[in-house]
């Protein structure tokens, strides 16, 4: 190897690293635009069946169908903001969820009351439920961060709402044009396979996101009903927080049940502990378990299995592996990403034994 060849190799490697670094820097700078684009794509996937229905059944032209669908979404969003946001802010203030010191104080009070309650039955929980040591272990920023995240998301989304609607409108309206442009860039050798993979992935992801929205709505309503039946204060915010946590497969419902029990005790902290707080909390936990039983046996199998044409065991293992590798983010994106990869594998490697095994339900 000559010195010139070695120098060229080093320069090429440096150039590639600089190009990668520059690309990452640019992506970081336009991260907000990328988020808008991702939100728009998800909206397109959800809206596409509605647009198709309006065009085929009601004979709307393409532009009118797209405008009607977007107006429907905007009206839903406005209705949600006008109906729920003032209630959410009011209940957040009542629960002191944005005040770390108040949250810690309420938590300490609950722990002390639990210790006193069980001591009457000769059960010593003072070491297990030592409030000082547990406070150090618990990240109390979790709940305020989640609440702040919801409020900030609504605020930021309202700022970028025009951008999202604009992008979504043209993605829906000129979907055929963009798809033709995409096809023209594909190599002729694999064009048909890629096109078929994109169409099938689009169909499956559309079903998945619609199902996911429906699942969250059902879980939210059932949680809210449970909390209202047992007269829990601030039921709306507790049900909403727990429903959002349900986005995290398998782990989310467990966290939401623990959170619901804790917030139920905190929200009723002025009541009698043994005759009001403990029975109410037990009833709420049982109610949440029933909701999760309904969700696990009816909602999730339909969404995660039927909508993605995957066996429940495949979905469970994929989510588990993604969780170990990439944490909560991996668990959330595991199902849609696995669905796309499986479609691609089936299209390009149909005779592979392993691929046949994974896609035999399709």
Q: pLDDT digit of tens for each residue in the chain (362 aa)?
A: 566 677 777 788 888 888 888 888 888 888 878 888 888 888 898 899 899 999 988 888 988 999 999 999 888 888 777 766 666 666 556 555 555 566 566 667 777 777 776 676 666 655 555 544 544 455 555 556 656 666 666 555 566 778 888 889 998 888 888 888 888 877 777 788 888 888 888 888 888 888 888 888 989 999 999 999 988 877 888 888 888 888 887 788 888 888 888 888 877 666 676 677 788 888 999 999 999 888 877 777 677 777 777 777 788 888 888 888 888 888 888 888 888 888 888 888 887 777 777 776 54
217 domain residue, yes or no: yes
What lies within 8 Å, CB to CB, of 126 at 6+ separation is 115, 119
Q: Do 338 and 249 contact (CB within 8 A), yes or no? A: no
CA–CA distance, 125 with 261 (Å, rounded to integer): 18
The reply to whether 284 falls in a domain is: yes
Long-range (24+ apart) CB contacts under 8 A made by 350-358 are 358/314
Collapse the DSSP code of 123 into the 3-class scheme (helix H, G, I; strand E, B; otherwise coil) and give the result. coil
Q: Is residue 221 part of a domain?
A: yes
Residues in Cβ contact with 115 at an 8 Å cutoff, skipping those fewer than 6 apart: 125, 126, 129
Q: CB neighbours of 265 closer than 8 A, spacing ≥ 6?
A: 110, 277, 281
Which residues, 6 or more positions from 283, have their beta carbon under 8 angstroms from its beta carbon? 230
Number of folded domains in the chain?
A: 1
Assigned domain for 239 exists:
yes
How confident is the model over 92-133, as pLDDT tens digits?
565 555 555 665 666 677 777 777 766 766 666 555 555 445
pLDDT at 128: 55
Question: Do residues 147 and 22 lie in contact, with contact meaning Cβ atoms separated by under 8 Å?
Answer: no
CA distance 86 to 69: 26
Cα dihedral 193, 197, 199, 200 sign = positive
DSSP 125: -
**CA 123 vs CA 117, 283, 359: distances in Å:** 9, 22, 54
Do the beta carbons of residue 140 and residue 104 sit within 8 Å? Answer: yes
Does the residue 141 lie in any domain? no
Helices (H) and strands (E) in the chain, counts: 14, 0
The answer to whether residue 171 is domain-embedded is no
Residue 264's Cβ-side half-sphere holds a number of Cα atoms within 13 Å equal to: 31
d(CA 294, CA 204): 23
Domain hosting 269: range is 206-362
Read out DSSP for 270-305? Answer: TS-IIIIIHHHHHHHHHHHHHHHHHIIIIIHIIIII
User: Tens digit of pLDDT for each residue in 251-287?
Assistant: 888 888 888 888 888 776 666 766 777 888 889 999 9
**Residue 196 domain-assigned (yes or no):** no
294-310 burial code (b ≥16 CB/10 A, e <16): ebeeebbeebbbebbbb
- pLDDT of res. 223: 93
| Residues in Cβ contact with 191 at an 8 Å cutoff, skipping those fewer than 6 apart | 183
Task: Give the contacts of 101 (CB within 8 A, at least 6 positions apart).
Answer: none
């Amino acid at each position: 190897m000559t010195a010139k060849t070695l120098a060229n190799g080093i320069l090429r490697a440096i150039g590639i690293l600089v190009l990668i670094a520059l690309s990452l820097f640019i992506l970081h700078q336009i991260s907000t635009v990328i988020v808008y684009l991702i939100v728009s794509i998800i909206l397109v996937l959800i809206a596409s069946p509605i647009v198709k229905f309006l065009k085929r059944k009601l004979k709307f032209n393409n532009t009118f169908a797209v405008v009607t669908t977007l107006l429907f979404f905007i009206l839903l969003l406005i209705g949600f903001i006008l109906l729920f946001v003032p209630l959410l802010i009011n209940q957040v203030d009542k629960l002191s969820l944005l005040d770390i010191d108040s949250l810690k104080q309420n938590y300490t009070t609950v722990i002390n009351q639990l210790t006193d309650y069980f001591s009457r039955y000769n059960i010593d929980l003072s070491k297990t439920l030592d409030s000082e040591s547990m406070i150090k272990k618990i990240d109390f920023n979790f709940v305020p961060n989640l609440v702040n995240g919801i409020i900030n998301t609504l605020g930021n989304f309202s700022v970028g709402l025009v951008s999202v609607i604009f992008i979504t409108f043209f993605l829906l309206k000129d979907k055929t044009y963009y798809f033709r442009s995409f096809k023209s860039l594909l190599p002729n050798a694999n064009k048909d396979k890629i096109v078929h993979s994109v169409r099938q992935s689009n169909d499956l992801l559309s079903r998945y996101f619609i199902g996911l929205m429906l699942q969250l709505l059902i879980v939210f309503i059932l949680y809210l009903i449970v909390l209202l039946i047992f007269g829990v204060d601030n039921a709306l915010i507790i049900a909403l927080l727990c429903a959002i946590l349900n986005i995290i497969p398998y782990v989310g419902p467990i966290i939401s049940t623990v959170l619901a029990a804790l917030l139920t005790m905190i929200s009723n902290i002025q009541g009698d502990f043994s005759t009001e707080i403990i029975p109410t909390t037990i009833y709420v936990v049982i109610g949440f378990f029933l909701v999760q039983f309904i969700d696990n046996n009816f909602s999730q199998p339909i969404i995660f299995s039927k909508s993605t044409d995957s066996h429940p065991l495949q979905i469970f293992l994929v989510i588990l592996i993604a969780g170990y590798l990439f944490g909560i983010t991996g668990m959330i994106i595991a199902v849609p990403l696995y669905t796309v990869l499986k479609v691609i594998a089936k299209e390009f490697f149909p005779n592979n034994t392993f691929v046949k095994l994974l896609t035999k339900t399709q």
